[in-house]
Structure 1
Amino acid sequence: MSAEPLRLSRIRLVSADPEALAGFFTTALGFARAPTIRPVPGETVVPLRLGAQAVDLVGFDQPGRPYPEDVPGWSPLFQHIALVVSDMGAAHARLAACPGWRPISTAGPERLPAASGGVSAFKFRDPEGHPLEFLSFPPGGTPEAWRRTGSDPCLGIDHSAISVADEAASLAFYEGLGFSVASRSINTGPEQARLDGVPDPRVAVTGLRPPGAPTPHLELLCYAGAFPRAGLACGDHDVAATVLVFSGAEGAPRAVRDPDGHRLRLA
C-alpha cells in the first residue's frame, strides 16, 4: 500500500511551562485542550486543537533555553503560526484582555495592500515568546477552506511561516519533499513595516502547498537585506525549537532540517 500524501498534521511548540501556556491558548485564542500525556520519559505534552488543526505544547524534564528576546522577522529562528479569524476586532479584543503576550505589530491590526494579498493581519508573541499571527481575508477573497463561521472568532491554523536566507535553496528543498508553489508576492511599504516591526521591509512571500492538503500550508519569508543571520541556532529543548510534523511520509519516521535549520518531522 502506498503512503498517504504528505500533509502538515500538527505543530510542536516547545514550552517552559506547557500547562500555563495551554491556559493562554485556550483563553486568549480559543483552542481546546486534551489531557496532558507523557509519550516518552522526560517529555510532557499538552495536545491542543483549533478547528481541524493540532498544536502540541511540549515540555522537557531537562529544559533548554528560553525564547530569545524579540527575534526579528528576518531571523532564521523566526517561525510563526497564522490563525484565521472571522472577526479581527473580536479576536484582537479577546487577546487584549489577556495578560502576558506582547505585540510584534506596532499599530494594531493592519490591512495590507492588494499587491500583498489585501488581508488584515496582526502579529504578536505568546507569553513565552512564540510568534503568532491573526489573519483575516478580504471580502470575496476567502479560500474555500475558511468559508465558514463559528461561535469562536478564531477558526483554525492557515499556515506556518518561516524566515529563510536563500529563497531558491529553500524552494528546492521543499519541492524535493513534494511541495508546490501556490502563491508569490513581494510585500513592502509602511503597512508591512508596521505589521512586521521591521523598518523598510521588502519580503518575498512564497506560499507552499503540501501534496496531501492545501491547509495548513507553509510560507517562506525572504527579507531582502544584509542581515546578520549567521550563528542563529537553537537546541532541541529550547523554546524556539518549533517542529512541523508531517504525516504520510514514506519510510521510517525521521527528523530533518531545512537549509535554515527549521525542524521537520516526517512520520
Structure 2
Amino acid sequence: MALSAEAARSGWRIAAIGLSTGCVARLAAFYEAAFGCRPEGPALAGAAIRRLTGLPGQGTLQRLRLGAQAIELWAADPPGRPYPVDSRSCDLWFQHMAIVVADMRAAYAQLLRQPGWNPISVDGPQRLPASSGGVTAFKFRDPEGHPLELLEFPADRWPPAWRGAPGGPCLGIDHSAIAVSDSAASIAFYAALGFAVAGGSANAGPEQARLDGLPGAEATVTALRPAAAPPHLELLGYAPALRPRPRPVDLRETDLAATRLRLVPTGAPDDPAPGAARLLRDPDGHGLVLAGAPG
C-alpha cells in the first residue's frame, strides 16, 4: 500500500506489536508466566479485529500489557503455517521484541522455569562491549518460534524512559528489531512515518556471535525513534557474507512468522477512533498496520 500525502506527513508511533499465533490462550499463558504480561480486556473477534488491525476478522485476538506497552496475539481460523525451524537472526523475516529487565539474573531464572521455549543465544545472557552499548542481552524463541530478547542496561546508562519503571523483573518493551537488507532504504522509508535516527552501532565479535547464535555475526544497528515513549524501532543490517535470506514471497499474515507493528498517529490513543486500518510493507516486507490512517 502506498502512503497518501496526508498519511506521509503524519507522525506515527508504535501502539502494539502483533504476533500471529496458533493458539491465543496457550501463548498468552506463556507470556504471563515468563514475563508478567497481563491480559487487557476481553478477546476480540470479527469486526473488532478488522477495525483495530485491518486483519481478517476470523479467529481471536487478545491484547496483553507488559508495563505500558502492548502485545496483540492473533490466532486466525484456520491458523497459518508454523515458524520456519531453520530461521536465523539475519534472515529478513526476523523480527524480535526486546523486553527490558531490571535484573537479568532474576528474569533469566524466571524464564528457565517455563517449558517450551528455545534459546537463540549460546551460553546464556551475553554482556556486549561498550562499543555495542554495554548491555547484557539474551535472545530466544517462545514456544511457537517468535524471537524475543531480554535486555538489561548498564547501571550507569539506563535510558530516562526506563528509570523508575515499576514492576519487575520484566519492565516493558524497549523496541522491536527487524533484519533489513539496506539500512539506508529502510531509514528513508521510516522517516516518512516520522521515525528519526537516534543512534547506532557496529556490533561484531565473539559476544555478538554468541548473542545471535550466528558464527561471524556482524551487524550495523540503527535506532529509529518516534516522537513518543517506547517502544522504538531498530534496524539490523547484517553483513552480506552471512547470506541473509529474503522474506518468503508466500508468507501470509496468518503464518506465525508474520509479525506486525500497529502504528497510530502521534498523540492518538492506542485505539484511535474507528476508521480503516490499513496494512503496508516496508522495503523488506515487514508488516505495518496504520490504524486511524488518514485517507
Is this a same-fold pair by TM over 0.5? Answer: yes
Match of 1:262 in 2: 286
Match of 2:195 among 154, 172, 179: 179
Cα offset for 1:135?
A: 0.4
Closer, same or farther in 2 for the Cα pair 1:228/1:206, shift >3 Å?
closer
Match of 2:23 in 1: 17
Correspondence 1:1-267 to 2 at 5 A:
5-34=11-40, 35-38=42-45, 39-40=48-49, 41-211=57-227, 213-226=228-241, 227-230=243-246, 232-233=248-249, 234-248=251-265, 253-267=277-291
Closer, same or farther in 2 for the Cα pair 1:29/1:209, shift >3 Å?
same
Cα offset for 1:177?
A: 1.5
Cα offset for 1:4?
A: 7.5
Task: Supply the AA of the counterpart residue of 2:288.
Answer: L
Preserved contact between residue 204 and residue 218 of structure 2 (Cα < 8 Å)? yes
Distance in 2 (alpha carbons) for counterparts of 1:67 and 1:229: 15
Cα offset for 1:252?
A: 5.0
Deviations 1:62-101 (A, max 9, x none): 2110111141111011000000000000000010011000
Preserved contact between residue 96 and residue 148 of structure 2 (Cα < 8 Å)? yes
Distance in 2 (alpha carbons) for counterparts of 1:260 and 1:253: 21
Which runs of 5 or more structure 1 residues have no equivalent in the other structure?
Answer: none
Preserved contact between residue 4 and residue 248 of structure 1 (Cα < 8 Å)? yes
Structure 1 range deviating more: 29-38 or 253-262:
29-38
Q: 1:36 is paired with a residue of what secondary structure? A: coil
Task: Supply the AA of the counterpart residue of 2:260.
Answer: V
Q: 1:235 is paired with a residue of what secondary structure? A: coil
Distance in 2 (alpha carbons) for counterparts of 1:139 and 1:62: 46
Task: Supply the AA of the counterpart residue of 1:215.
Answer: P
Deviations 1:167-218 (A, max 9, x none): 111111111222100011000000000000011111000000113x141000
Closer, same or farther in 2 for the Cα pair 1:246/1:188, shift >3 Å?
same
For normalisation by structure 1, the TM-score amounts to 0.94
Which runs of 5 or more structure 2 residues have no equivalent in the other structure?
Answer: 1-6, 50-56, 269-274
Preserved contact between residue 10 and residue 194 of structure 2 (Cα < 8 Å)? no
Distance in 2 (alpha carbons) for counterparts of 1:83 and 1:70: 24
Distance in 2 (alpha carbons) for counterparts of 1:204 and 1:161: 12
Task: Supply the AA of the counterpart residue of 1:98.
Answer: Q
Over the matched positions of the two proteins, sequence identity in percent amounts to 54
Task: Supply the AA of the counterpart residue of 2:44.
Answer: I
Cα offset for 1:47?
A: 1.1
Cα offset for 1:36?
A: 2.0
Task: Supply the AA of the counterpart residue of 1:224.
Answer: A
Distance in 1 (alpha carbons) for counterparts of 2:69 and 2:246: 33
Distance in 1 (alpha carbons) for counterparts of 2:25 and 2:132: 37
Q: 1:259 is paired with a residue of what secondary structure? A: coil
The structure whose residues are more often strand, as a share, is 1
Q: 1:9 is paired with a residue of what secondary structure? A: strand
